[in-house]
Amino acid sequence: MPTIQIKNSSQPNITYLPDRKNWKERTERRLAEEQLTRELPEGFPEQLEGPKLWTGSDYEGKEEQWVYNLTEEELLEIDNAVKDFEATGKPLSAIQKDTFPLPNLGPKLKKLVEDEVVDGRGFLVVRGINPDQYSREQQVIAYAGTSAHIGKRGLQGRHVLGNGSHHVSAAHIKDLVPKKGLDDIIAPAYTNDHQVYHTDIGDIISLFAVGVAAEGGKSRIASSWTVYNELARERPDLIETLASNWAFQDDFAKEGEPGYYQRPLLYYVENNLIIQYARRSFTGFGKNPRRDDIPPITEAQAEALDALHYIAEKYNLGVDFQKGDIQYINNLSIFHARDGFTDSEEKQRHLLRLWLHPENAWKLPKQLEPVWNKIYHKERDEVFPLEPTTLSGL
Contacts of 330 (CB under 8 A, 6+ apart): 52, 117, 118, 122, 123, 203, 204
Number of CB atoms found within 10 A of residue 213's CB: 21
pLDDT at position 254 is 78
Tell me which long-range contacts 227-234 makes (C-beta under 8 A, separation of at least 24). Answer: 227/308, 227/311, 227/312, 227/315, 227/335, 228/48, 228/266, 228/273, 228/275, 229/47, 229/48, 229/53, 230/311, 231/307, 231/311, 232/40, 232/44, 232/45, 232/46, 232/47, 233/47
Range 20-383 has CATH code 3.30.450.20: no
pLDDT of res. 393: 41
Mean pLDDT for each consecutive 10-residue tract of the chain (394 residues)? 66 92 98 97 98 97 96 98 97 96 98 98 98 96 97 75 49 68 64 84 95 85 98 98 94 79 97 95 85 93 98 97 96 93 80 95 97 88 73 41
CA 34 – CA 28 distance, rounded (Å): 10
Q: Please, is 151 exposed, middle or buried when counting C-beta atoms within 10 Å of its C-beta (0-12, 13-18, 19+)?
A: buried
Distances (CA, A) of 215 to 212, 275, 321, 333: 8, 31, 12, 29
Of 209, 218, 171, give the one whose Cα is nearest residue 190.
171
Cβ atoms of residues 355 and 375 within 8 Å: yes
Give me the pLDDT at residue 181, please: 63
Q: What is the pLDDT of residues 114-162, one digit of tens each?
A: 999 999 999 999 999 999 999 999 999 999 999 999 999 998 864 445 4
152 SS3 class: strand
CA angle in degrees (0–180, nearest 5) for 249-250-254: 145
Claim: this prediction has a pTM higher than 0.85: yes
Q: Please report the pLDDT score of residue 99 as a whole number.
A: 98
- Rounded to whole angstroms, the Cα distance separating 214 from 349 reads 8
Q: Where in the chain are the domains?
A: 20-383
Region of residue 194 (phi > 0: left; psi between -120 and 50: alpha; otherwise: beta): beta
Who's near 208: CB < 8 A, 6+ residues apart? 129, 131, 139, 143, 324, 325, 326, 351, 352, 353, 354
pLDDT of residue 165: 41
pLDDT at 389: 60
